Amino acid sequence: METRDISEILYEQDSEYRNLLDQHRSLEVRVQELSSNLYLSDTEKVEEITLKKKKLALKDKMQELMKKHG
């Protein structure tokens, strides 16, 4: 079974995975917004770094769930 297949199945059947993926996507939208700016304030730079770390942590949790179900 491919990673994409597992992700789709988990998204449909596992509320924890769905919540993690939704959060990850939401953070990605904000990171993209920040990245589209030519200049970031110091606060925005910190926000961008923090969001990227949160995204990575969410991805790690999703990978753990995928391993359990895969």
Give the residue with greater pLDDT, 62 vs 4. Answer: 62
**In this predicted model, what pLDDT tens digit does every residue of 51-65 receive, in sequence order?**
999 999 999 999 999
Whether the Cβ atoms of residue 20 and residue 48 lie closer than 8 Å to each other = no
Report the C-alpha gap between 44 and 41 in whole angstroms.
5
Q: What is the pTM of this model?
A: 0.87
